[in-house]
Chain A
Amino acid sequence: MKNIIIIGILLTVWIGICCADVIPEGHHIVSRGVIIANCNDYPDYTLVGYITGPMIDDYELLVVKQDVAINKGYKFNTFRLYAIRQEVIQAMGGVEYIDYSYLIDIIPPVSIINPAAFTIEDANPLSSETIIYTIYGIENGKLVLYISERRLGFNDGSSPVIEYYTYTP
């Protein structure tokens, strides 16, 4: 009997994986925005999101703008972030002419908070989440971003919550 129950787990989870694109019963969608707050303070760099995924033929580019939410689109897409110096963009003739397949081969991917909506149990009143990254500066040849703020909205009438974070090198 116990073995049958465990096999039941396997089947249930397996079916769940196959249907992972559907909002599970008793869940709701939480919208998520990921913002980079101070891009304009670093004019020598352009932050470019490189998006690949099952619904994208090759790739899509997203040039990150200050205070504009990043969205990677379909939740199973992959979002990679690069800080491209302006001289590279000028030399190549634009961000769209950069050989990203070459970059992917030589540079490990960098993950930020997944910029896509997600689902949560209805018992949890969370309805929106906005995550704000702030650029700290350059460390060891990399642009350091840290989460400086998170804003949480709820669907039960409770007041929004704002969390603040600091970064200590």
Chain B
Amino acid sequence: MDKNLILLLLVFCLCAGNLAAQVTGDVNVDNDINIIDALMTAQFYVGLGPSPFDQSVADVDADNDVDIIDALMIAQFYVGLISSFPASKVIPPLDYKVVRVPVIDLSVFEN
């Protein structure tokens, strides 16, 4: 209970930030890297057994161990403090590959 409470606090503290997508760090395999991945990695480290959990992408610092540092790095990635992981060495992914820009014509101002 105490652990869960602290982990919930983690979620609240980290509910803002930038987001980019990479496979490394996406421990719950939802095609997104966010605070849930950091939370689940922390849960894995303290033995809570989160599920689903892909351990193969959790070692983001490439030290051959899934530990609290990995959770920290995923959290840092989520809030934009880092933009890639040592284990991935990938170039940043492209967001917004296609954008649809609103056209402003006179009818917009007629209402």
Contacts and interface: CB of A to CB of B under 8 A. Distances in A.
A143 B99 CA distance: 8
Which of A5, A123, A140, A144 gathers most chain B CB within 10 Å? A5
Contact of B104 (A3, A103, A111): A103
B66 interface: no
B46 to A, nearest CB: 5
A10 B10 contact: yes
Contacts of A106: 108
Interface of B is mostly: mixed
B72 A9 contact: yes
A155 interface: no
A164 interface: no
A17 B101 contact: no
Nearest to B94: A147
Nearest to A85: B105
Nearest to A45: B103
Interface string A4-18: 011111101110110
A3 B83 CA distance: 27
Nearest to B69: A9
Top-9 shortest CB links A-B: A142-B100, A143-B101, A84-B104, A146-B98, A85-B105, A83-B101, A2-B46, A83-B103, A107-B102
Interface of B: 2-3, 6-7, 9-10, 13-14, 16-18, 42, 45-46, 68, 71-72, 75-76, 79-84, 86, 89, 91-92, 94-106, 108-109
Given A120-B83, A167-B98, 5 more contacts: A10-B6, A16-B79, A87-B106, A121-B82, A165-B97
